[in-house]
């Protein structure tokens, strides 16, 4: 799996958009970008994944740069319940049966 | 609710003892993974089973073992417990095919005294 780099922490005001960056400059052509989050002591939760096109679901949007070397997870209207550690993981689609390698992630604090 | 269940939620035991953690994957998922998360540590992959067979090993100690049964539920056995084994243990499951995502259970909090 390609290595990812994320800022260790970020703050966001409640109701504002939270933009979480991830650098994956060594990503291969067959590798997807996955985002998970872990709210304190709970099991990690899948958020979204994408290959090269931007993706959106009910939780978030994923913007992947054209060269695919970086991406941004966007929580459009952050709430206090979005306070969590967010993990950006790069993995080949064919490896979806294999374990996820979690790094340190970004600790997002949403403040009132 | 991810659909992955784990029992027990909490477990308190003494050093040197043996415990068994249980996981039921989401319906239809063939892959089960075990992860350990110690205090202030990241999620460490321990082991994966796919349809009853061991598929991958991570940082799993020799004192730890796991198995996946024909009904696809899995058990993680931890023996000769040490204080440092105190952690959250998560089970996750996935279909194991292409494009599937991995869903995590709520975890078992193990405290070794």
**For A3-12, how does the pLDDT look when each residue is reduced to its tens digit (9 = 90+)?**
899 999 999 9
Residues of A in contact with B28 (CB under 8 A): none
Q: What CA–CA distance (Å, rounded) separates A38 from A12?
A: 17
Q: Which residues contact A67 (CB under 8 A, 6 or more apart)?
A: none
Residues of B in contact with A94 (CB under 8 A): 98
Is B48 an 8 Å CB contact of chain A?
yes
In angstroms, what separates the C-alpha of A99 from chain B's closest C-alpha?
7
N-to-C CA span, chain A? 37
Residues of A in contact with B42 (CB under 8 A): 102-105
Nearest in space to B5 (alpha carbons), one of B93, B77, B97, B99: B93
pLDDT per position in chain B (113 positions), as tens?
A: 889 999 999 999 999 999 999 999 999 899 999 999 997 678 899 999 989 999 888 889 999 999 999 999 999 999 999 999 999 999 999 886 544 578 999 999 999 99
Residue B55 and residue A102: Cβ atoms within 8 Å? no
Is B103 an 8 Å CB contact of chain A?
yes
pLDDT digits (tens, 9 = 90+) for A34-84: 999 999 889 999 999 999 989 999 999 999 999 999 999 999 999 999 999
* Residue B100 vs residue A22, higher pLDDT: A22
Nearest in space to A48 (alpha carbons), one of A63, A31, A36: A36
Strands A106-111 and A9-13: parallel
**Chosen from B7, B23, B42 to mutate, greatest number of chain A CBs within 10 A:** B42
The pLDDT of residue B98 is: 44
pLDDT band for A95, please (50, 70, 90 cuts): low
């Amino acid at each position: 799996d390609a290595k990812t780099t994320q800022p260790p922490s970020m703050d966001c005001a409640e109701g504002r958009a939270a933009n979480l960056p991830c650098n994956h400059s060594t990503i291969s052509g067959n590798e997807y970008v996955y985002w998970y989050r872990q709210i304190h002591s709970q099991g990690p939760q899948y958020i979204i994944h994408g290959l090269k096109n931007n993706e959106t679901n009910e939780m978030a949007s994923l913007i992947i740069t054209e060269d695919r070397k970086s991406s941004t997870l966007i929580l459009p209207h952050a709430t206090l319940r979005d306070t969590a550690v967010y993990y950006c993981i790069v993995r080949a689609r064919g490896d979806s049966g294999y374990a996820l390698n979690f790094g340190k992630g970004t600790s997002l604090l949403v403040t009132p | 609710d991810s659909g992955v269940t784990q029992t027990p939620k909490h477990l308190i035991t003494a050093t040197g003892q043996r415990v068994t953690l249980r996981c039921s994957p989401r319906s239809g998922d063939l892959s089960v993974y075990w992860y350990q998360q110690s205090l202030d540590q990241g999620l460490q992959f321990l082991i994966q089973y796919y349809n009853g067979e061991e598929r991958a090993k991570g940082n799993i100690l020799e004192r730890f073992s796991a198995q996946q049964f024909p009904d696809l539920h899995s058990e993680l056995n931890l023996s000769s417990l040490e204080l440092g084994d105190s952690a959250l243990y998560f089970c996750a499951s996935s279909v194991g095919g292409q494009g599937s995502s991995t869903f995590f259970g709520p975890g078992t909090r193990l405290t070794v005294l």
